[in-house]
Amino acid sequence: MDYKLICTDIDGTLLNKDRELSELTISEVQRITDIPFVLISSRMPKAIRHLQHQFNNVNTPIIAYNGGLVLGGDTILHSSVIDNTVLSAIINESATTDIHLSLYHADEWYVPSMDYWAKRESNNTKIIPIVKSNKVVLEKWEKEAKGAHKIMCMGNENEFSA
């Protein structure tokens, strides 16, 4: 069978327990360089590109935010954002909880503080977020006519039950 394209997830698929690519994985992907190898993830583009570089595979598109943003190099091939009215409602609803909200747009990642959840995600993705309140980010994005590609809610399980 002749393969025309290979697409793969990253976390729990390509990365080891330390969230790194093993030498074996890198060499096996490089062995099939004649087949386009597309990385797909819920991660932001910046947290995918360094893996492309490790594979020496920077000419294929990446699919970030589980399809919310598709890039071919620096060209946006597809972008779908969460409306700011939805983001505002989520920010307001979580204001009286300990739920951590990470807000993402393209290569922007904002957190209200470098709490346990932000540090854990930063360790997993090798990216350092910008600390800024969620309401300030929302105001900024409204002025810039942008929305969130991803809203990540993290916290203790009991905070999420209705």
pLDDT band at residue 86 under the 50/70/90 scheme: very high
Q: How far apart are CA 98 and CA 114, in angstroms?
A: 13
The count of structural domains within the chain is 2
Tell me what the pLDDT averaged over the chain comes to: 93
Of 29, 63, 79, the last residue of a domain is 79
**Whether residues 89 and 154 fall in one domain:** yes
Residue 141 has pLDDT above 90, yes or no: yes
**Whether residues 105 and 154 fall in one domain:** yes
Q: Is the residue at 1 inside a domain?
A: no
How much is the pLDDT for 42?
A: 95
Q: How far apart are CA 75 and CA 54, in angstroms?
A: 21
How much is the pLDDT for 162?
A: 57
Residue 161 has pLDDT above 70, yes or no: no
**Whether residues 36 and 67 fall in one domain:** yes
CATH of the domain at 55: 3.40.50.1000
Range of the domain at 23: 6-79
Residue 157 has pLDDT above 90, yes or no: no
Residue 57 has pLDDT above 90, yes or no: no
**Whether residues 110 and 147 fall in one domain:** yes
Q: Identify the H or E element spanning 160.
A: none
Q: What is the pLDDT of residues 24-40, one digit of tens each?
A: 999 998 888 788 899 99
Q: Is the residue at 129 inside a domain?
A: yes
pTM of the complete model: 0.89
Q: What percent of the chain has pLDDT over 70?
A: 98
How much is the pLDDT for 58?
A: 87
What average pLDDT score do residues 48-61 get?
91
pLDDT band at residue 81 under the 50/70/90 scheme: very high
**In terms of Cα–Cα distance, which of 18, 2, 153, 143 is closest to 91?**
153
pLDDT band at residue 17 under the 50/70/90 scheme: confident
Q: How far apart are CA 125 and CA 54, in angstroms?
A: 14
Q: List b or e across 123-156, with b for residues whose CB sees 16 or more CB atoms inside 10 angstroms.
A: eebeeebeeeebeebbeebeeeebbbbbbbebbe
Name beta bridge partners: 150: 104
Give one DSSP letter per residue of 111-138, joined into a string: ESS--HHHHHHHHHHT--PEE--HHHHH
